[in-house]
Chains A and B, each alone.
Chain A
Amino acid sequence: MASSGAAVPFWRAAGMTYISYSNICTSLVRSCLKEPHRSNAANREKVHFAISKWSNGKPESPTIRSDSATE
């Protein structure tokens, strides 16, 4: 099938990974759903995580990020 010399998909040529491509497709489909399904789907895209940057071997205070569907 597609060997190492074949054309890559347009999104990979533009520097996007497959996961980003798939996630973009998914959020677009979710935004086209009818109402109760749309809010259920939006809940699935919520992300909640805490980031700590480390410097000199010690963690600085963490920033907690709670994003809903963002671009």
Chain B
Amino acid sequence: MYRRAPCLLNRIIAGGGRRSAAAARPFSTDLPAAPTEDTAFVEAWRKVAPNVDPPKTPLAFMKPRPAASPSIPTKLTVNFVLPYQSEIANKEVDMVIVPATTGQMGVLPGHVATIAELKPGVLSVHEGNDVTKYFVSSGFAFIHPNSVTDIIAVEAAPLDNIDPTLVQKGLADFTQKLNSATTDLEKAEAQIGVDVHSALNAALSG
């Protein structure tokens, strides 16, 4: 109910003056911290209803977005979550390589803020000389301006948990289904099978 309140009150008070250059979006490198309350709303409320406390908006209860730091951080903070458990939580690493639909994407600290859809492939987390690899079935990767990277996947397994014989068998099965598929839906399902199994194969051999 109060979501539209700042907008409506400002419309009454300000009388419809157009916002000019203030509407230009700043670069994410010089954003100040998000405010915990909308000062324009609070002032407008006090003018209209001085005896009633202004209501708290959801923003007042949340942790505000922190100010974008002007310098590039030295480490990447990674959160890798699955629906049933959290694989990596707030770990500081040097680089992650994400299997985005547009190709393997390397994420270093200071990467531009990105939302990437993931395809079935290998996610590798590089910390010093250690590399931890997971095979990810699909999901998304969110890279925030402050170099926090959230990777969410439906299913992920370390490469050791994958059985090569099952992968080969699946690949053969689905290639055969792709050749014999008739409807669009069957073709799509067979194509997905071929893609997933070839990615698994490449992960195991690469």
A-B contacts, 15 listed (Cβ < 8 Å): A10-B188, A11-B188, A13-B188, A15-B184, A26-B137, A26-B155, A29-B196, A30-B137, A32-B167, A32-B200, A33-B166, A34-B161, A37-B161, A41-B155, A44-B84
The B-contacting residues of A in range 17-35, CB under 8 angstroms, are 21-26, 28-34
Q: Chain B contacts of A31 at CB under 8 A? A: 166, 170
User: With contacts A10-B188, A22-B139 known, is A29 near B155, CB below 8 A?
Assistant: yes
Beta-carbon contact of B154 and A22 below 8 Å: yes
Beta-carbon contact of B161 and A33 below 8 Å: yes
Beta-carbon contact of B137 and A25 below 8 Å: yes
Is A51 in the interface zone, CB < 8 Å from B?
Answer: no
Number of A-B contacts (CB under 8 A): 73
Tally of contact residues, A, Cβ under 8 A = 22
Closest residue on chain B to residue A29 by CB atoms: B137
Q: Which residues of B contact A (CB under 8 A)?
A: 83-84, 120, 135, 137-139, 154-155, 157, 160-163, 166-167, 170, 184-185, 187-189, 191-193, 196-197, 200
Beta-carbon contact of B163 and A32 below 8 Å: yes
Measured in the bound complex, the distance between the Cα atoms of B196 and A24 in whole Å is 10
Q: Chain B contacts of A41 at CB under 8 A? A: 155
Beta-carbon contact of B191 and A33 below 8 Å: no
Measured in the bound complex, the distance between the Cα atoms of B200 and A24 in whole Å is 14
Q: Pick the contact of A21 from B84, B138, B167, B170 — CB < 8 Å?
A: B138
Closest residue on chain B to residue A33 by CB atoms: B161
Closest residue on chain B to residue A44 by CB atoms: B84
User: With contacts A25-B120, A32-B170 known, is A14 near B185, CB below 8 A?
Assistant: yes
Measured in the bound complex, the distance between the Cα atoms of B187 and A14 in whole Å is 8
